[in-house]
Structure formats: C-alpha cells, structure tokens
Amino acid sequence: MFLTEDRIKLLCKLKMSGFEKTYVSGNFRTEVWYTDGDAEKYFEWLVAVANETEDVDVAVVKQAYDQLFRFLYVMRDDIDRAKNVEFIAPYDWQNLFLSFDKDLVDIKNIVDRHDKSIVDVLKLLVELVEKNKTLLEKIVNENEELFGENAHP
C-alpha cells in the first residue's frame, strides 16, 4: 500500500502483479496493484542501489537511500531483530551542522584568499599606471595628433 505516487515514487519500472477482473454492468473491469512481493522486489532493488551493485544515476542513488530508509521505517515492526539492538538510531544533526559549518568556513577562506589575490593584482596595476603616467599621457597625446581626438585607447 506504500508503493503509490502519493507515498513513494518508484525509481525503476516495477510490474504490478496484483490484479482482479470483475464484471460490472456488462463490462469487464481490471484492477491492478502492487503486492507485498512487488514491494519486496523493489526493496531489494533499493538495497542493490545502496550497495552500488545497480548502475543508476547519482540523483537516483540519493532518492533510493531516502526511500530505503522510508521502507525500513514502515517495516520496523515487522522485521525480526535482537531485542537489545536499536534499529534506527537518531540522526546526529549536530555533527552534520558542524561539518556544514566547517565546509562553509573553508569556502569563505578560499574566497577570501581569491579576493586578496585580485586586490593585490589591482594594486600592482594601479602602481604601474602611476609609475608610467607621463608615458601613458604622451601616448594618448600622440594618438590624438595622429588619429584625432576620439582615438583614445
């Protein structure tokens, strides 16, 4: 019942093996649905994706992990396990946020170094222009004499 577009959008083709034909008002009507066996096949496919034995796109892998844990959560009461084993441990959000914070600090440091390099180059260019100001003015004047007033480089 969880393999529906509303709950889990299937990431691979899966045939519905549950069906029932009924005769209503002179017409045959066929209903199809996913069975427990279909859900088991899909679960096995998700495990294969997680184990990297199924060749799929990276975006599909991320979705498959999410769906795999949804399946595990839904089936948590039906899975036999040792009584002292916690099946799903709480996610360590604090360490996740700390790692994001560290990554952001690393990115900021890279950007700061990059910005400093650009500022250093711009300072060198300004110094070069200042040192050669008279030469540059002379070139501009000669250009104006040769090609007219609108011939600024």
Q: Which domain holds residue 128?
A: 93-153
- What is the spatial distance between Cα 129 and Cα 152, in angstroms, rounded to a whole number? 16
Structural domain ending residue among the three candidates 61, 89, 117:
89
Total domains in the chain come to 2
pTM: 0.45
User: Is residue 121 very low, low, confident or very high in pLDDT (cuts 50, 70, 90)?
Assistant: very high
Identify whether residues 99 and 57 lie together within a single domain. no
Q: Pick 5 or 125 by higher pLDDT.
A: 125
Looking at the structure, tell me whether residues 30 and 51 fall in a common domain. Answer: yes
Looking at the structure, tell me whether residues 2 and 69 fall in a common domain.
Answer: yes
List residues bridging with 20 in a β-sheet: 31
Of 64, 89, 114, the one marking the end of a domain is: 89
Shared-domain flag, residues 75 and 10: yes
How far is Cα 10 from Cα 65, in angstroms, rounded to an integer? 13
